[in-house]
């Protein structure tokens, strides 16, 4: 009867934890109660019950909070210096992309300033892709590498294009240069989105950062000049969606940057060498 009541209370734990340990916990509690009855003073049974309820309340709550975390919750180390640096560069890049959304703080940018800001954004994106890839490469080596290489290549190409564009008198989208610039831009948004989806699927870093990056990148495509879905003279809903997408993309890089710069790493899986004896 006592053990059945205790087993009922174990419903407070997550189902997966219960499936794994409920029988052992009931057995341990039964041992405690038997010992309290046979060896303890008259109040020992009541004291054992009280301690079990306090223990259950504290540990069931904590188990619910951390059940989705990766293994190794107790065995983690701070992010490396390189992760912190890459994360910081990514945060700056994401913030650079968001600057025009703060017109009160930032006045209208000249075309060259606009391109320099995009360059900063591309450098930040590349930094984050490298940092995130280092974390998720072991989860799915080929998929992670494919997504990372594509995103780095497209962002690097876009960086080159925008830096070449600094000082040009013609608009960026004009002529043959503009056509190449369009396709490189399209490749950048698509590979950013793909990287976001892969990161979301692998689940190694911040979920919300990956979602913002993936959806933002896809939405941003709607604002590309040559698609003619919207323009400065004929603004449509696609223009608004594209702006929201650019903002989401910037937020995504910032969230991922915060994650790689601050999240503690699990080291238990990094076993290198086993030697007998000891």
Give contact residues for another protein (rule: CB under 8 A): 13, 17, 20-21, 23-29, 31-32, 51-52, 54-56, 58-60, 62-63, 71-77, 266-278
3-state secondary structure of 77: strand
User: Between residues 22 and 190, which has the closer beta carbon with respect to another protein?
Assistant: 22
Q: Smallest distance, Å, CB 68 to another protein? A: 12
Q: Smallest distance, Å, CB 7 to another protein? A: 11
Q: Apex CA 35: angle with CA 34 and CA 41, to 5°? A: 110
Q: Smallest distance, Å, CB 32 to another protein? A: 8
Q: Smallest distance, Å, CB 2 to another protein? A: 13
User: Between residues 23 and 112, which has the closer beta carbon with respect to another protein?
Assistant: 23
Q: Residue ranges of the alpha helices (H) in 10-140?
A: 15-39, 44-66, 81-98, 111-136
Bridge partner list, 265? 77
Sign of the Cα pseudo-torsion (235, 236, 242, 244, in order)? positive
236: DSSP letter: -
With a CB cutoff of 8 Å and minimum separation 6, the contacts of 138 are 269
User: Between residues 38 and 169, which has the closer beta carbon with respect to another protein?
Assistant: 38
Q: Which of 126, 141, 134 is nearest to 253 (CA)?
A: 126
The answer to whether residues 172 and 190 touch, using CB atoms and an 8 Å cutoff, is: no
Q: Smallest distance, Å, CB 46 to another protein? A: 15
User: Between residues 63 and 163, which has the closer beta carbon with respect to another protein?
Assistant: 63
Give exposure, 226-250, as e/b (b: 16+ Cβ within 10 Å).
eeebbeeeeeeebbebbbbbbbbbb
Q: Smallest distance, Å, CB 27 to another protein? A: 7
State both tokens at 58: 């504290």
> How far apart, in whole angstroms, are the C-alpha atoms of residue 156 and residue 162?
10
Burial of 59 (0-12, 13-18, 19+ CB in 10 A): middle
Bridge partner list, 76? 266
User: Between residues 21 and 182, which has the closer beta carbon with respect to another protein?
Assistant: 21
User: Between residues 204 and 254, which has the closer beta carbon with respect to another protein?
Assistant: 204
Q: Smallest distance, Å, CB 59 to another protein? A: 3
User: Between residues 139 and 180, which has the closer beta carbon with respect to another protein?
Assistant: 139
3-state secondary structure of 265: strand
């Amino acid at each position: 009867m006592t053990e059945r009541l205790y087993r009922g209370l174990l419903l407070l734990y997550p189902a997966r934890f219960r499936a794994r340990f409920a029988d052992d916990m009931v057995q341990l509690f039964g041992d405690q109660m038997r010992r309290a009855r046979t060896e303890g003073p008259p109040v020992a049974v009541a004291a054992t019950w009280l301690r079990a309820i306090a223990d259950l309340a504290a540990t069931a709550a904590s188990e619910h909070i951390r059940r989705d975390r990766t293994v190794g919750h107790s065995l983690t180390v701070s992010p490396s210096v390189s992760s912190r640096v890459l994360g910081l560069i990514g945060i700056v890049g994401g913030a650079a992309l968001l600057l025009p959304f703060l017109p009160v703080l930032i006045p209208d940018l000249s075309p060259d300033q606009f391109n320099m800001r995009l360059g900063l954004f591309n450098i930040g994106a590349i930094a984050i892709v490298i940092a995130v890839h280092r974390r998720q490469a072991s989860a799915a080596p080929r998929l992670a590498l494919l997504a990372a290489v594509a995103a780095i290549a497209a962002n690097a190409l876009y960086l080159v294009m925008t830096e070449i564009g600094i000082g040009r008198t013609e608009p960026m989208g004009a002529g043959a240069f503009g056509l190449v610039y369009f396709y490189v831009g399209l490749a950048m948004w698509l590979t950013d989105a793909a990287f976001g989806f892969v990161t979301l699927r692998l689940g190694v870093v911040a979920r919300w950062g990956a979602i913002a990056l993936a959806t933002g990148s896809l939405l941003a495509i709607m604002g590309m000049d040559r698609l003619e879905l919207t323009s400065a003279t004929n603004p449509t809903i696609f223009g608004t969606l594209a702006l929201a997408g650019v903002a989401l993309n910037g937020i995504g890089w910032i969230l991922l940057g915060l994650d790689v710069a601050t999240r503690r790493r699990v080291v238990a899986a990094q076993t290198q060498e086993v030697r007998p004896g000891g």
